[in-house]
Structure 1
Amino acid sequence: MMSQSSDVVSLTSLCLQNIAENMQSVWMTDYTDKYMEDYNFMYIEGPFNQLAGTLVQELIRILGDSHKLTKAGLHLLLQPHLTELSLRSCAGLVNKAMAQLVTLRCKFLTSLDLHSCNRVPAASLVSLVERLPRLLTLCLSDTQSDALVLAAIGTFCQRLRELDVSRCRKISPPALLSLVYNVRSGQFCCQALRVLLLQDVKPQGSPEQWVFALCFALLALPRLEQLTNPSLADAMRLIYVSNLTPSGFPPENFPSLAEVARTRAGREDTSKGQAAIQSSAPTVHEHNPRTVRVEDARTVAHHTALRLKKLEDLDEADVSIFGSLCQGLEEVAISLGNQNEHLWSLVQWPNLTHLILHCPEHPRRSLEEILSSIHPVSKSLRLLSLQNLLWCHEDSLSTLLTWCPNLRSFESHFTVLCHNVSHNAPELLPWPGDPLPLPLLHTFSLLLEGEDLLQSIFQHKLGGLLVSLLRGCPNLKSLSLCGIPTLLDGVFEVVYGSKQSQPLQGLREVSLCSSNITQWGVSLILRAKNDLRTLDLSHCKDVTCRDYHRLQERARKDKRNVSITWQ
């Protein structure tokens, strides 16, 4: 059961919605009758060439999402003044002819998104990118992109910073090499590329060839900050162990991995005003790259520093290896295994702002054993996510949050497993009144499971932690407390009854799924001064159907624009 409500819509959005509703009957009828068969012209005089490019793009999205966009409508909206164009919401309409129309009209694009536009043949994609040299971002995921398309991107899109070719089944390891090296000119390409997304492209080529190709890309792209592919870790290990002379790689006319590393090292030293590592090393044109000695390959590999700033799903066994290669890392997700000894640290990444730690299977690693690893980077963290871990001591979470004063987002999923069970429970002291200062925090999520949730000591200390937390985060916008055993009525009574003036005024979203709360505690949230829009009370066993209707009625009486979910 849910009460329906919506946010206040801007005047601009209302106008665009009105245009979308009348697109077929007003704007497309004349065009379809008179010009649909001859649409390859440069300009269309009409209302849409007067709209700002951002509004035209938003109109395309609205029409696409509502399935009201037709070929005629898309013809009208492909305006020459567009600099950003996303056709993912209407991918089914995009074919060879539509791609040609984009080529003719939208010559000033800096951003193009053709996600799932798989009706466009590779030859048309080649023609398209050849005529869009201003592109900074390009998404071709789930298209017919192949080696010729990537070679065209490398040759003609030298300003490109972000490229997504995920789920492109025709891409092979040699195709990736064509993106970053032009065999005709003997020059490296796409040197400005910072983001390269290559998910789900593995069927073409052997796993070893993909590892070598990714290694080639890592060394050839000096500004690369993010590369996504399941073989990335293996490619980085190859660089770490300095194995840059694999047999059977690269294909004919491409420089070897060792030569790419030598060229990169020489350029980096030159940019710093230093002598090249191998001052007498020939260029890629002066000798056969396959003749590079193993000792030289190891030397240049040890001088290679990757500029990656984001790594996804890194195994904890590789933390120390990748730390030496990518010291400027800012975002990392680490998969925790079942090892008994904790041997890694994050101290090598002083700029880390986003950290995700998770157990992919049953939780076997505890919050307590990773605290020492997080501590060196705790003050720089903006996002911290701890998923599927054990929580064994009541004070561990409060200790961790105290270390992270600059957090903006905290997400967690714990299985509670307390070891200090006592038959003689100590006296439960009053909750501390001091707030836990997290002035920047806007998202807090805590999901709990486990049989030890019922311990009185744990419940009491958890309540105190939540009181201190909610008192110390004045800018909180999203609060999710799922499976909390502590009676939250008392928590919100203390928070809203404190001397602090108007706490949690920015609160917009609250989820209390499966938590211990009654109508009284929920009413405290509804009566408070905030900007609440959604309130989720699913599976709260102490909130009845009658309570739900009373809460809805209170929201209506107070003219609160809030959607309440209950079941």
Structure 2
Amino acid sequence: MPLFRASGKRGGAMARPGRRRRRNMEVMGSCGKSDEDGAVLPLTRLCLLSLADNMKEVWVKDYADNYLDHYSFRYIMGPFNFLTGELVEELTLLLCTRKQMSRAALHLLLVPQLRGLSLEKCPGLVTAALCAHIAARCQCLWSLDLSGAQQLTSKVLSETLCCLPALRSLSLAGTPCDRRVIRTIAHCCRLLRHLDLSRCHFLSPAALLPLGGGASFSSSGCPSNSPCRSSTSQSFISSSCASPLSPLPLSSLLALDIEFGEQEGDPVAAAAYLLLSLPCLERVAMEGLAQACCLIQHKQFGQTDEFTDREGVPRLEEVWRDRRHRQNMDSWSKTSKGAAGGEEDDDEEEEEMLLWEGYGESEEDASRDLVPSCSQNQAEEKGRVSSGDEHLILRLKDVKGLSCDSLDSLSRACPDIYSISVNVDDCEDPRGRSQGSLLAAGLQACSGQLRSLSVHYPGPLVDLLPALQVAGSSLVSLTLEGVKTSPHTPLLEVIKACPRLKDLLISAEPPTTPHVEGDEEDQRDERDLPQLPNLCSLTLNFSYEHSQMKPVMSWMSLKRVLKCLLAGSPLLEKLSLVSLPCPLNCILQEVLSRLDLDSPHIPLGRVQRIDLPRTDVKMITVKSVMQRSKKLKYVDVSHCWHISHFEMLDCKMDSKVQVVWL
């Protein structure tokens, strides 16, 4: 294996990826898929699967035996150096997903043309030595995910990020990231658009302030003896330390579950500062975000002066005034260009926006962002106001960590909002209103435009029905966590209120009082039952005690709901039914027996993954599902008491589907 030192700039390997890259990244997410009719996989995909199967016994074995612990190479000239960055990225993801990634394999796959590197599925392999290799070999990375790499120090993270100035997307969730790392990001990663700092417990809210610029900081966080710091980068950092930094072009900032700060009001003040100082921000998850929106809406900036003075950043009133001035200037500029016959778009910049703003979103979400909505037009109209109107319009679209009482202020400040995550407390309102009615009133302003709603509520599911009837008509994704159920929970009404759902997840407590219904429940006319024809993912997860082998069959009317969902959702690809408080085997048998010859879609015909732990499903039913769906890859029947070890082994021998049984 020939080896040599190189700077990583080799001809075509440095070419910037075009729009085709985004399509390739979407294909990556569909690893292992075949056509619905069972057609042969593409040749490229088959070659990558062959590479993955032979990786350990061929290339990895040779490198591990002869080079891994004997030498330290800045660059490896090997078989993967001649693949495109997209193929190397897909191969890396394939090995991580199949749990076949190793330290030696990573060394071979760290090639200069790599643009995206995600090690979230193998955080144990991320060490200081590996980060040094990443910094030396992959200096043109656009996306890096080191989530869960807890063995790294803040010094190692800073040294690595100093060498990756091209980063657009960075995830450090669950790492020992601290203030020093944030300063390094603010100084060295000036193109960053997406940043995930969730579960970084060494970070305080005040430590995030350098992301918004506005002040000079005494230390950049880049060690002076870092091998990646050239004289050019040192002079850049020195000059930037002496003068205030401009804010990063962040459009996504996730920082939930971090340290609370020195004083009680720090999270709110920090969130308000970042909302005002980061003009491109669209997706946010932070503590104190709800109160920050209220603070901005009512311009109560005086209560944050102590915080901003302590941290050495401009006061919020000054930041608000600057943001308001820029908003007016932008509105005037758009109006002028529109009157002149439209503005000219720079193709390269648009291409970059398509790639990184749509990272992790569906194709439909991306197309929606490119077409101005009614709310966007309203926001622009609100921006074209006289100086006497002091309303500030924020660009937030996806917000997590809200409360019911903050929804009204949020909708006023953010007219383009389409995704909300709300934590609803199970307590009475001072005015005597229920939490469900408060949520419904707060969602009223978003009615017709909300596409994703996540609610955590430790109360009865029926309380949330009014809110779903208000906002459900436009919802594509719905998540309900922690809710309580009863034999009379109107789950069919929930389905009826949200006819466009593609993803439905309900994590609930089962009914505590059993209510067994007679056969008349199944004999009702099912022709008028609601259906979810667009549903792709369904999860019904009921809590259980680990000492309890079988769930109590306490919600028999749930059978009717499941028949409705399984039979009326022909596009279903992912199905998870955990510890159901009703019989499931008979439901699946009835759904499988339904076959409409006039319809090209059949129930469970497109399902790819099925999780059925702690249910009464039988192996004969599971085999029937396998025969029905040609795309099925994974089945989990753990703790299913009607399935024996012998049946599981027999099924594994006769099928290529991965079957899990405990």
Scaled to the shorter chain, the TM-score interval is: 0.7 to 0.9
Instruction: Quote the offset at 1:12 in angstroms.
Output: 0.9
**Cα distance 1:311–1:462, how it changes in 2: closer, same or farther (>3 A)?**
same
**Cα distance 1:465–1:247, how it changes in 2: closer, same or farther (>3 A)?**
closer
Instruction: Quote the offset at 1:484 in angstroms.
Output: 4.3
Instruction: Quote the offset at 1:416 in angstroms.
Output: 6.1
Among 396, 399, 424, the residue aligned to 1:308? 396
> After superposition, where does 1:154-303 map in structure 2 within 5 Å?
154-168=186-200, 171-184=203-216, 189-202=246-259, 205-245=262-302, 246-251=304-309, 254-273=313-332, 303=391
Q: Quick one: distance in 2 between partners of 1:183 and 1:238? A: 22
Residue identity matched to 2:394:
L
**Cα distance 1:494–1:69, how it changes in 2: closer, same or farther (>3 A)?**
closer
SS in 1 for 2:164: coil
Among 78, 89, 93, the residue aligned to 2:110? 78
CA contact (8 A) 1:489 1:522 kept: no
Q: Quick one: distance in 1 between partners of 2:107 and 2:578? A: 48
SS in 2 for 1:463: helix
* Ranges in structure 2 where 5+ consecutive residues have no aligned partner: 1-31, 35-44, 217-239, 335-386, 429-433, 545-550
CA contact (8 A) 1:129 1:157 kept: yes
Count of residues paired in the alignment = 519
For 2:63, the equivalent position in structure 1 comes to 27
Q: Determine whether 1:510 maps to 2:607.
A: no
Q: Quick one: distance in 2 between partners of 1:178 and 1:318? A: 26
SS in 2 for 1:334: strand
Among 560, 567, 573, the residue aligned to 1:477? 573
Among 479, 490, 496, the residue aligned to 1:385? 479
SS in 1 for 2:284: strand
Residue identity matched to 1:189:
S
SS in 2 for 1:202: coil
CA contact (8 A) 1:180 1:220 kept: yes
SS in 2 for 1:249: helix
SS in 2 for 1:388: strand
Query: Deviations along 1:463-508, whole A, 9 cap, x unmatched?
Result: 3333333221111123334454555455344433334134321123
Instruction: Quote the offset at 1:221 in angstroms.
Output: 0.6
Q: Determine whether 1:370 maps to 2:468.
A: no
Q: Quick one: distance in 2 between partners of 1:530 and 1:179? A: 48
SS in 1 for 2:491: helix
Instruction: Quote the offset at 1:271 in angstroms.
Output: 0.9
Among 377, 386, 411, the residue aligned to 2:505? 411
Q: Quick one: distance in 2 between partners of 1:194 and 1:142? A: 21
**Cα distance 1:518–1:222, how it changes in 2: closer, same or farther (>3 A)?**
same
After TM superposition, the structure 1 stretch with the greater mean CA deviation from structure 2, 374-383 or 101-110, is 101-110
> After superposition, where does 1:430-445 map in structure 2 within 5 Å?
430-434=523-527, 436-445=530-539
**Cα distance 1:262–1:300, how it changes in 2: closer, same or farther (>3 A)?**
farther
SS in 2 for 1:272: helix
CA contact (8 A) 1:504 1:530 kept: no
Among 491, 498, 504, the residue aligned to 2:594? 498
SS in 2 for 1:271: helix
CA contact (8 A) 1:261 1:300 kept: no
For 1:292, the equivalent position in structure 2 comes to none
Q: Quick one: distance in 2 between partners of 1:229 and 1:442? A: 29
For 1:354, the equivalent position in structure 2 comes to 452
* Identical pairs, percent: 26
Q: Quick one: distance in 1 between partners of 2:124 and 2:325? A: 44
Among 106, 111, 115, the residue aligned to 2:138? 106
> After superposition, where does 1:311-326 map in structure 2 within 5 Å?
311-326=399-414
Instruction: Quote the offset at 1:386 in angstroms.
Output: 2.2
SS in 2 for 1:510: strand
* Ranges in structure 1 where 5+ consecutive residues have no aligned partner: 1-5, 276-298
Q: Quick one: distance in 2 between partners of 1:525 and 1:411? A: 22
CA contact (8 A) 1:228 1:312 kept: yes
Residue identity matched to 2:250:
L
CA contact (8 A) 2:468 2:498 kept: no
CA contact (8 A) 1:154 1:182 kept: no
CA contact (8 A) 1:69 1:90 kept: no
Task: Work out which of the two has the higher radius of gyration on C-alpha atoms and give 1 or 2.
Answer: 1
SS in 1 for 2:610: strand
Instruction: Quote the offset at 1:69 in angstroms.
Output: 1.2
SS in 2 for 1:219: helix
**Cα distance 1:527–1:552, how it changes in 2: closer, same or farther (>3 A)?**
farther
CA contact (8 A) 1:485 1:516 kept: no
Q: Quick one: distance in 2 between partners of 1:390 and 1:124? A: 45
Instruction: Quote the offset at 1:454 in angstroms.
Output: 6.2
Q: Quick one: distance in 1 between partners of 2:516 and 2:52? A: 64
RMSD: 4.2
Q: Quick one: distance in 2 between partners of 1:144 and 1:159? A: 23
Instruction: Quote the offset at 1:244 in angstroms.
Output: 0.9
CA contact (8 A) 2:468 2:497 kept: no
CA contact (8 A) 1:118 1:144 kept: yes
Q: Quick one: distance in 2 between partners of 1:143 and 1:336? A: 29
**Cα distance 1:313–1:216, how it changes in 2: closer, same or farther (>3 A)?**
closer
Q: Quick one: distance in 2 between partners of 1:166 and 1:479? A: 28
Among 35, 53, 70, the residue aligned to 2:85? 53
CA contact (8 A) 1:474 1:503 kept: yes
SS in 2 for 1:135: coil
Instruction: Quote the offset at 1:397 in angstroms.
Output: 1.6
CA contact (8 A) 1:308 1:328 kept: yes
Q: Determine whether 1:446 maps to 2:540.
A: yes
TM-score, length basis structure 2: 0.66
Instruction: Quote the offset at 1:80 in angstroms.
Output: 2.1
Q: Quick one: distance in 2 between partners of 1:17 and 1:416? A: 44
Instruction: Quote the offset at 1:441 in angstroms.
Output: 0.9
SS in 1 for 2:566: helix
Q: Quick one: distance in 2 between partners of 1:56 and 1:532? A: 26
CA contact (8 A) 1:513 1:538 kept: yes
